[in-house]
Amino acid sequence: MTGILQGKIAVVTGGGNGIGREAALAFAREGARVAVADYEANAAADTVGLINAGGGQAISLSGDVTVAADVQAMLDATIAAYGRLDCAFNNAGIAPYQVDAAGKLTHEWSESAFDRMIDVNLKSVWLCLKHELPLLRANGGGAIVNTASIAGLIGLRGSTAYVAAKHAVIGLTKTAAMEYAADGIRVNAVCPGFITTRMTTWTRENRGEAIVAGTPLGRFGEPREIAEMVVWLCSDRASFVTGAAYQVDGGWTAV
Please identify every residue annotated as catalytic. 162
Q: Residue 23 corresponds to which amino acid?
A: A
Nearest distance from C-beta of residue 153 to ligand NAI, angstroms: 11
CB 148, min distance to ligand NAI, A? 7
Q: Any contact of residue 128 with ligand NAI (CB under 6 A)?
A: no
- Asked if residues 12 and 5 have their Cβ atoms less than 8 Å apart, the reply is no
Bridge partners of residue 144, in order along the sequence: 88, 187
CB 255, CB 214: distance < 8 Å: yes
Binding mask 76-95 for ligand NAI (x = CB under 6 A): ---------------xxxx-
The residues, any chain, with a CB within 8 Å of residue 201's CB and separated by 6 or more, are: none
Choose the binding region for ligand NAI from 48-56, 58-66, 170-178, 227-235 (rule: CB under 6 A).
58-66
* 197 near ligand NAI, judged by CB under 6 A: yes
| Binding residue for ligand NAI, selected from 10, 51, 195, 230, defined by CB under 6 A | 195
66 touches ligand NAI by CB under 6 A: yes
What φ, ψ does residue 220 adopt, rounded to 5°? Answer: -75, 155
Least distance to ligand NAI, CB of residue 233, Å? 15
* Residues 66, 127 contacting (CB under 8 angstroms): yes
One character per residue 17-56, x = contact with ligand NAI (rule: CB under 6 A): xxxx-----------------xxx--x-------------
- Type of residue numbered 157: R
Buried b / exposed e along 100-138 (16+ C-beta atoms within 10 A): ebeebeeeebeeebbebbbbbbbbbbbbbbebbbebbee
- As measured in angstroms, the least distance from the Cβ of 55 to ligand NAI is 23
Binding interface with ligand NAI (CB under 6 A): 14, 16-20, 38-40, 43, 64-66, 91-94, 120, 147, 149, 192, 194-195, 197-200
